[in-house]
Amino acid sequence: MSEARQELVLDELGLLPLWVRRDLVAAERARVAASNDAAASNDAAQPARAETAAAPAEAIAMPAAAEPPPRPMRQTVIPASAPAPAPAAVAAASGSVERDQRAAAIAAMDWEQLQAAVASCTACSLCKSRNRTVFGVGNPEADWLIVGEAPGAEEDRLGEPFVGQAGKLLDSMLASVDLNRRDGAFILNTLKCRPPQNRNPNPDELALCAPFLHRQVELIRPKVIFAVGRFAVQTLLGREASIASLRGKRHDYRGVPVVVSYHPAYLLRNMPDKIKAWQDLLLARRMLATSANRQADTGS
**Interacting residues with ligand URA (CB under 6 A):** 148-152, 155, 161-162, 164, 166-167, 189, 229, 265
Collapsed DSSP state (helix, strand, coil) of residue 7: helix
Nearer to ligand URA, 91 or 237 (CB): 237
Collapsed DSSP state (helix, strand, coil) of residue 169: helix
* Pair 146, 170: CB distance under 8 Å: yes
Closest separation between CB of residue 189 and ligand URA, Å? 5
Closest separation between CB of residue 154 and ligand URA, Å? 8
Alpha-helical runs (H) found in the chain: 3-12, 22-42, 50-53, 87-107, 111-119, 126-129, 153-158, 165-175, 203-220, 230-237, 243-246, 264-269, 274-298
Amino acid at 153: A
DSSP 272: G
Closest separation between CB of residue 265 and ligand URA, Å? 6
Greatest extent of the chain over all pairs of C-alpha atoms, in Å: 87
Closest separation between CB of residue 147 and ligand URA, Å? 9
Nearer to ligand URA, 209 or 265 (CB): 265
Nearer to ligand URA, 25 or 258 (CB): 258
Q: Which residues pair with 259 in a beta bridge?
A: 226
What DSSP string describes 185-254? EEEEESSSSPPGGGPPPPHHHHHHHHHHHHHHHHHH--SEEEEESHHHHHHHH---S-HHHHTTS-EEET
* Pair 276, 262: CB distance under 8 Å: yes
* Pair 70, 48: CB distance under 8 Å: yes
Closest separation between CB of residue 57 and ligand URA, Å? 38
Q: Rounded to whole angstroms, how far apart are CA atoms 31 and 94?
A: 28
Instruction: Give the residue nearest to ligand URA (CB).
Output: 148
Closest separation between CB of residue 150 and ligand URA, Å? 6
Closest separation between CB of residue 161 and ligand URA, Å? 4
Nearer to ligand URA, 7 or 149 (CB): 149
Q: Rounded to whole angstroms, how far apart are CA atoms 243 and 267?
A: 12
Nearer to ligand URA, 69 or 164 (CB): 164
Nearer to ligand URA, 16 or 188 (CB): 188
Closest separation between CB of residue 269 and ligand URA, Å? 13
Nearer to ligand URA, 165 or 293 (CB): 165
Residue 53 burial (CB count, 10 A) = 9
Closest CA relative to residue 188, chosen from 219, 141, 151, 239: 151
Nearer to ligand URA, 164 or 257 (CB): 164
